[in-house]
Structure 1
Amino acid sequence: MDDVVMPWSVGIRFAHASLQTLAEDAGIDLLHIKGPTVDESLLDGPRESIDADVLVRPEHVQRLLDLMHAHGWTTQYRFEDGSAFEHASTLVHPFLAPVDVHRRFPGFSARAETAFDRLWKDRYAVPLAGVSCQVPSVAAQRLLLIVHAARAGALAHSDIRRCWWDATDEQRGEVAQLAGDLSAEVALAAGTGRLDEFVGHPGYDLWKALSAGERSQARVWMARVKAAPTRRAALRTALRLLLPNRRRMETRLGRPPTMREVAAAYFSRSRTGTRELVALFRASARERRGR
């Protein structure tokens, strides 16, 4: 008899249900986001996901990770191994779909605790694999999907069309109000064609680069450093973007990288970054002379 393989979409739902059960037993607050949790009013067909996504109350994050580790989950990528936002950690399980545990959501500039409280306030429950799972309000789901698409440079994505352009004035007003509460106005503007309203804002260059799918690592690097809230955060961001990601190298190689491989990756990254920065500064100088 051939082995029966669980459909990926079913594995994702079971992952959501498993995390909800663990969270409830331990008094952990989490919200299920994206994927199968999206409200039917925002869909025009089945959604394809590669993992389950949850947003966790910041002070509960470590408790959830410890609990997941005790129940067969393994950390594939730490928060520091992900994007420059360091917003999510990826965990894998022998039988369930991978999970991205979010401690914050990129584009929400409010304190992580404040943002979670605001989203938690208007939550409601949906059934996933027979378990009642907590999800953000429909207005919050609209905002999450728009900002996520903008960060990926997918301004033509159907999520933006359904969540913003097909919405009523009242629904767009609710999303805009929530974006204000979460300090997500710049990210929302990037996804809805209004980013020029925020020229001069610290996050303008970053969201312009992200939403445009900027390919220049130097431009994105400078924008991320500029958007950092403090000088210390800016320095940390700059160093992180310069240094090779050892965990991702290990995943790609199938083994821990050697010191020689890490050094080679560092020099390659530095050389490429320096070359792009020089070209960028020269282009800026030419633009200034032409004015």
Structure 2
Amino acid sequence: MGVRFAHAALQVLADDHDVDVLHIKGPAVDEVLLDGERPSVDADVLVRPAHVDRLISAMHEHGWSTRYRFEDGSAFEHASTLVHPFLAPVDVHRRFPGIDADAGSAFDRLWSERHVTDLAGMPCAVPSVAAQRLVLVIHAARAGRLGEGDITRSWDAATDDERAAVLALADDVGAQVALASGTGRLDDFVGAPGYELWKVLSSGDRSRSRLWVARVRAAPTRRSALRVAVRLVVPNRHRMEASLGRPPTPREVAAAYVDSARRSAKELAKVARGVHR
């Protein structure tokens, strides 16, 4: 119930500050895609990109604090985590991993087919059922959970017409490769941008080096590839501070650099041996 209250609180702030928010995953999922209560420890919202700063500022004014910035999260830099003394944590998404179209255009497409559901007494906008199917499938694929219930309910159990709606939406928002990785069709996209990344992600392979190589190759420009390459290797001071509960000392930062370099070198050597074979 605490997560539902977090969703409701965010909707109040969104209404008060004219922010467009789509509530996703967790208790926001439509009943047709559920098998009992859906466990969740945090609330997830997808925000119109132009409104993200406005929402986060409003959250800060009402007792929320930023635990992780967008840059501190996954390599996709898609979500910022905020916490509150009395409510469940919230992941504020400015984009959704696997949806590669322009974030504003993709949000427009999802927003155009939204409907309303009740979360802790507040009417909250959620994506269409087709969009929810898409989000659940690519989220499961990103986590390497291809055999779990979200894909079974969202894709395997869907009718031909329901699948067609998801495929059409994926085309509109640039999620074809991510969707294919969760639905057994990834080989149809060999050579496409993002193919190697989603092959690694959906396999459940959590080798830092393989993810690093795939993420760099998936970057759209050389500049972004360089940024991703550096970001995935250099220790993150903000995450260290959140973990330690205080700013890391220079010695702790230095030790983190050494440890990261050591682990990265070992895993890159494994990748090189695999390529050689």
TM-score range, shorter chain: over 0.9
Distance (whole Å) between structure 1 residues aligned to residue 35 and residue 178 of structure 2: 24
Instruction: Measure how far apart 1:213 and its partner are.
Output: 0.9
Counterpart in 2 of 1:4?
none
Distance (whole Å) between structure 2 residues aligned to residue 215 and residue 122 of structure 1: 35
* Equivalent of 2:102 in 111, 124, 134: 111
Q: Which amino acid aligns with 1:65?
A: I
Counterpart in 2 of 1:86?
77
Q: Which amino acid aligns with 1:276?
A: E
Counterpart in 2 of 1:226?
217
Counterpart in 2 of 1:6?
none
Counterpart in 2 of 1:129?
120
CA deviations on 1:89-140 (whole Å, 9 max, x unpaired) are 0000111111000000000000100110000000000111111000000000
Instruction: Measure how far apart 1:283 and its partner are.
Output: 2.4
Instruction: Measure how far apart 1:281 and its partner are.
Output: 1.5
Give the secondary-structure state (helix, strand or coil) at the position aligned to 1:244: coil
Q: Which amino acid aligns with 1:116?
A: F
Counterpart in 1 of 2:38?
47
* Equivalent of 2:207 in 196, 213, 216: 216
1:242 aligns with 2:250: no
Counterpart in 2 of 1:151?
142
* Unaligned residue ranges in structure 2 (runs of 5+): none
Larger radius of gyration: 1
Instruction: Measure how far apart 1:245 and its partner are.
Output: 1.5
Structure 1, 270-279 or 232-241: larger mean CA deviation = 270-279
* Equivalent of 1:29 in 9, 16, 20: 20
* Equivalent of 1:261 in 235, 244, 252: 252
Give the secondary-structure state (helix, strand or coil) at the position aligned to 1:141: helix
CA deviations on 1:239-286 (whole Å, 9 max, x unpaired) are 100110112212222221111111111121112112221231232123
How many percent identity over aligned positions?
66
Q: TM-score, normalised by structure 1?
A: 0.94
Counterpart in 2 of 1:283?
274
Count of residue correspondences: 277
Q: Which amino acid aligns with 1:92?
A: V
Give the secondary-structure state (helix, strand or coil) at the position aligned to 2:220: coil
1:205 aligns with 2:203: no
Distance (whole Å) between structure 2 residues aligned to residue 101 and residue 177 of structure 1: 26
Distance (whole Å) between structure 1 residues aligned to residue 150 and residue 267 of structure 2: 33
* Unaligned residue ranges in structure 1 (runs of 5+): 1-9, 287-291
Instruction: Measure how far apart 1:201 and its partner are.
Output: 1.3
Runs of 4+ in structure 1 over 6 Å off: none
Counterpart in 1 of 2:5?
14
1:190 aligns with 2:151: no
